[in-house]
Amino acid sequence: MIDYKDKIILITGASSGIGKACAFEFGILGATIALTGRNENKLISLKSKLTDLNINSHFFVCNLMESESSGMLVDQIEKHFKNSIDILINSAGIAVLGDIENIPINALRENFELNFYAPFLLSKLVMPGMKKKKFGQIINISSGVGKRGLPGTSSYTATKFALNGFSECLRVELMIHNIDVILISPGLVDSEFSSNIKQYGIIKNSFSDGKGLKPSEVASYIVDASKKRKREVVLSYKTKIGTYLNFFLPSFLDRYLNKEL
């Protein structure tokens, strides 16, 4: 079992949703939380609430869509805490939706900057410190569309497929160093994520029907996955069914999804 006392945990997208919930869940276990996001006011408010619970934290305003800012973030955090990062939770993300013919290339690039390039770069930057300690965890928040593409989600889907593939490569490369790479696919979550979706054109089916999990519920599953050092956790039954059908009956699933357009 992992002792989280004084472990330094970097959480991206910490100002809301899953990232914010993880700050509390890991913080009450004794971890030191490095919060990052773009909204300074929200980060200030979150730090205050964590302090009220005697959780040690500090926030770092950063726009992860700018690779230069991402590159400096890890150095700022490790200088502030005078120690290297033990656990990285890549929670920040956005969804760009729309039929392929309607998605601007710049929107696609922005989607990749936040959902893939930022986790890739941050993982590279935290690895040296983790290797020295012979311990670490990189927890990537993925999606069911990282396993099966859905119409109207090509941009978002591509970023999650990339994140999943990267995570699989990284997991094997880091095993010898006692560093875990954990993939979390939460499914629908009742958070601000949906309100930040960028949509181009009309989509008949957004595949977002149903009740979403609370961010605190997802964070609890993430803590459990971290404690048990799991390789992957899929929380959505729709994702589980879709993955099964895509493996055994891919043509059937293609036709079914086509009818949903």
Given the residues 4, 117, 156, 244, select the one marked as catalytic.
156
Integer Cα distance of 256 and 99 in angstroms:
17
Q: Is the dihedral of CA 239, 172, 174, 108 positive or negative?
A: negative
Q: Supply the DSSP string of 149-169, one letter for each residue.
A: --TT-HHHHHHHHHHHHHHHH
Cα distances (Å, whole numbers) of residue 68 to 26, 64, 113, 175, 247: 28, 9, 12, 29, 40
Integer Cα distance of 81 and 121 in angstroms:
20
Residue type for position 35: L
- The two three-digit tokens of residue 199, written as one number: 């949509």
Active site residue 256: no
Cα distances (Å, whole numbers) of residue 14 to 23, 91, 172, 215: 7, 8, 28, 12
Active site residues: 156
